[in-house]
Structure 1
Amino acid sequence: MKIVVLDGYTLNPGDITWEGFERLGHVTVYPRTDYTLNGGNSILERAMNVDVLLTNKTPLSREIIEQLPNLKYIGVLATGYNVVDVAAAKEKNIVVTNVPTYGTDSVGQTAIALLLEMCHHIGAHSHSVLKGQWENHEDWCYWNYPLIELSGKTMGIIGYGRIGQSTGRIAQALGMKVLAFDSYQNKELESETMEYVELDTLLSNSDVIALHCPLFESTEGIINKNTIAKMKDGVMIVNNSRGQLVVEQDLADALNGGKVSGAALDVVSSEPIKGNNPLLKAKNCIITPHISWAAKESRQRLMDISADNLEKFLAGTPVNVVNK
């Protein structure tokens, strides 16, 4: 059994192992693979005559899949599987699996971390101390940014699945009320501090808006100049779901104009971020490099579930199949 990992570095830069897969076949791990069809580091060169391909973000198009006669299985090392042409794989009887639940706690925790950074600017204040500003200050304390208390405020969460609920639980523990918008509603989750509402109600009543919805045609660009206009003045926005949920120029304009008081983003529309992204120069905008999923515990869980997916496929009982 020949197993090739096309882009293994982000999942495992060296602090965990591939032994779960090594028990199942001969494993070759490439840190990253060129997206080109031809050339020394191409997908085709590395995938030819392989039984199993594992990919995180390296795209597997119809053109590529149709040129891999031995391929039986594609394991996506992530939840989102839009990098694979699943219809083409199904036509060739290639099973495609993903890992739907590995990062729930890590992503929810990061959403709150992004929010708290907007509220307290811990990093900036620490940096000011290390530069000597406190040492040379005439008062015993100072703050360089407005400081915001979250208790009593309202968080609107767009997408209230596992990750949205994780973020919501922490927000409620901080004393916030949660308004949730989701096409599927579990009424058992409602309480004095959490209720489902329509999108317009969420937009107009939330002090903080957090995005935790999947990227569908209906959610692409859900944060745009029209929806921002419905929000409270001074709203804060957190996005560590998908960058394409936000029309970035519209958000940058709202930040620069003061309608949105702050944004904290772990994802952007094109990654790595491009130098001309308008959010790079927007006021009060925190951007981190897509790290919500990357806690070691989360990555180990991803590795374990991915290996289990392959093991169950080999046993004839596949799970987490996305192209049935």
Structure 2
Amino acid sequence: MSTVTADKVKTIKTLNNIAETGLNVFNTDDYKIDNNSENPDAIMVRSFNMNTLEFDKNLKAIARAGAGVNNIPVNKCTEQGIVVFNTPGANANAVKELVLTCLMASSRNLFEGVSWAKALDGKGEQIPKLVEAGKKQFVGKEIKGKTLGVIGLGAIGARVANDALELDMDVIGFDPFISVDTAWNLSRTVKRAMTIEELFANADFITVHVPYMDSTKGMFNAEAFANVKDGVHILNFSRGELVNEQDMEAALESGKVGKYITDFPNENVLKMKNVVPIPHLGASTEESEENCAIMAARQLKDFLETGNIKNSVNFPNAFLEYTGRRRVAAFHKNVPNMVGQITSAISSYNLNIADMVNRSRGEFAYTMIDIEDKVNGEVIPGLVEKINQIADIVTVRVI
């Protein structure tokens, strides 16, 4: 158990370079950016590997300026009551643009053609003739009228699907977990595949936009490649671990897979034929980095000041309009009568409850309770300690 109370000045530590526009979200009267702090209130991070770090008990939240959180020990954070945020959708346009760029460029053999042309340096006046004679080896195909299969129709996948339709492609999508919000944003012209095998069998190009987890690890494997159309192009801007590299190499050698475009090159991948290695540029735009930083900072600021949670990967999302009343925020095991015990502790101080919200996520839950009575701006003496004595409380904070 840990006790957290409101501080006048909160410390934010960054573990990577964070766009200045994001850091500017924190006003200097209430926040201090201190990258050397050993006990910050919150951490902002991009790709820094945090899996071996130990966390001070004062740490309340970590915000990843990006979507993936493999570099953060999420389970450990949950056990210690630390909220982990990410920024889904903030880099969606950047990734979408690169996917569509690579879709067209790979189909037209543009990458190979450019490399070949650059190798002509030094041929002098022969270059124009060599270009005309050699260009036939790079004859490609137009994407118009071809079928694009989109696996995962979240913020990125839905945008790719919609824009591919505008390029006169046929689009088939597969996502058994599609959200209502995404469904509203997805064109009705996108055809729905009932199984991933149906998508494999019909797509000339396949782009994947799903998170990396046990169920998706190595999803592109020999069994999957047996179901795809001969010569299919596969684009991976999600995670390298989604692909079984040994099976991919065999599929590329046989021609079953025509090209593999990946944002996650490594030594094995670079040795394969017909691979287009992109140096992890999916979200690498100035706009994307600023969008992610701003979104991450706003989520941190809102949580630190109001307790509200949006886009957490380990806590339940929870919102309670903040009116300035003293607020108790407790993270606890999702067990019966927990809310009753917390409210009883508050009532024992003759305090009235003005409003409350309770949300659960798996084995854990999060409760925010607003107190009607004025408390002269001070933390209620003894209340946090009393709530902390309740079994299965992880953290308590008074805002």
Q: TM-score range by the shorter chain?
A: 0.7 to 0.9
Distance 1:16 1:321 in 2: 22
* Mapping of residues 285-304 of structure 1, within 5 Å: 285-304=275-294
Instruction: Please give the per-residue CA displacement for 1:158-210, whole angstroms capped at 9, x wherever unaligned.
Output: 11112111111122122111111111356764645533331111111111111
Alignment of 1:1-324 (within 5 A): 1-8=10-17, 12=19, 18-21=23-26, 23=28, 24-29=30-35, 46=36, 48-61=38-51, 64-65=54-55, 68-130=56-118, 131=120, 134-137=127-130, 139=132, 142-185=135-178, 189=186, 191-192=188-189, 194-268=191-265, 273=266, 275=267, 277=268, 279-316=269-306, 317-324=308-315
What amino acid does structure 1 have at the position aligned with 2:176?
A: S
Aligned match of 2:388: none
Which segment drifts farther, 83-92 or 302-311? 83-92
Q: Give yes or no for contact 2:12–2:32 (8 Å, CA) kept in 1.
A: yes
**Offset of residue 283 of structure 1:** 1.2
Match of 1:43 in 2: none
d(CA) in 1 for partners of 2:135, 2:39: 64
For each residue in 1:82-134, what CA deviation from the matched residue of structure 2 results, as whole angstroms up to 9, or x when unmatched? 33233332333322221112011111111111212211233443444453564
Q: Answer yes or no: is the 8 Å Cα contact 1:72–1:93 preserved in 2.
A: yes
The alignment yields a C-alpha RMSD, in angstroms, of 2.5
Q: Tell which deviates more after alignment, 15-24 or 243-252.
A: 15-24
Larger mean Cα displacement after TM superposition, 217-226 or 311-320: 311-320
- Say which is worse superposed, 241-250 or 140-149, in terms of deviation: 140-149
> CA 1:231–1:300 in 2, change beyond 3 Å: closer, same or farther?
same
Deviations 1:262-316 (A, max 9, x none): 1111125xxxx3x3x1x21211110111111111111110111111112212221
Q: Is the 8 A contact 2:150 2:172 kept in 1?
A: yes
The structure where strand makes up a greater share of residues is 2
**Structure 1 Cα separation of the partners of residues 101 and 131 of structure 2:** 31
Q: Distance in 2 between matches of 1:149 and 1:125?
A: 16
The alpha carbon displacement at 1:145 in A equals 2.0
Equivalent pair of 2:65/2:296 in contact (CA under 8 Å): yes
Instruction: Return 5+ residue gaps in structure 1 as ranges.
Output: 30-45
- Taking structure 1 as reference, are residues 75 and 190 closer, same or farther at Cα in structure 2, changes over 3 Å only? closer
